[in-house]
Amino acid sequence: MFSGGEYDEVARWLRNFVASHAKRENLRVEPEVDTEGPREGQSYGVRLRLGAALSPALELAFADVARDRGSLAWCAELAGRVRALARELTGAGSSPLRTA
């Protein structure tokens, strides 16, 4: 599948992956993947934003994401974490904002 890659390429993949899974819970949720400063080339900080609300950060090492993004089990686990953050951010009592 997609194992390996340069830091920026993996960041792009991660941003798309997170957006895809977060938006399954709420179309208005937007991903934020921090790659700046001391993280650059080393790790990613992943958060979700819904309006002014911001989720807690997921800390992901670059080496782990690059190595494991080709693993269906790892991707399923990360998708579950992202979707849980999106549900938490949306609020337990709110229904997902989806198209028909």
**96 is a domain residue:** no
CA dist., res. 47 & res. 52, Å (int): 12
Q: Is residue 33 in some structural domain?
A: yes
Q: What is the pLDDT of residue 2?
A: 60
Task: Return all residues near 94 (Cβ < 8 A) that are at least 6 apart.
Answer: 26
Closest by CA to 46, choosing from 36, 26, 61, 31, is 31
Identify whether 15 is part of a domain: yes
Per the CB < 8 A criterion, the answer to whether 49 and 34 are in contact is no
**Per the domain annotation, does 42 fall within a domain?**
yes
pLDDT for 100 equals 40
**Domain contains 1:** no
Q: Which whole-number Å values give the CA distances from 99 to 19, 24, 74, in the listed order? A: 16, 10, 28
Q: Kindly report, residue by residue over 5-56, the tens digit of the pLDDT.
A: 899 999 999 999 999 999 999 999 999 999 999 999 999 999 999 999 999 9
Provide the pLDDT for residue 99.
45
Q: How many domains does the chain have?
A: 1
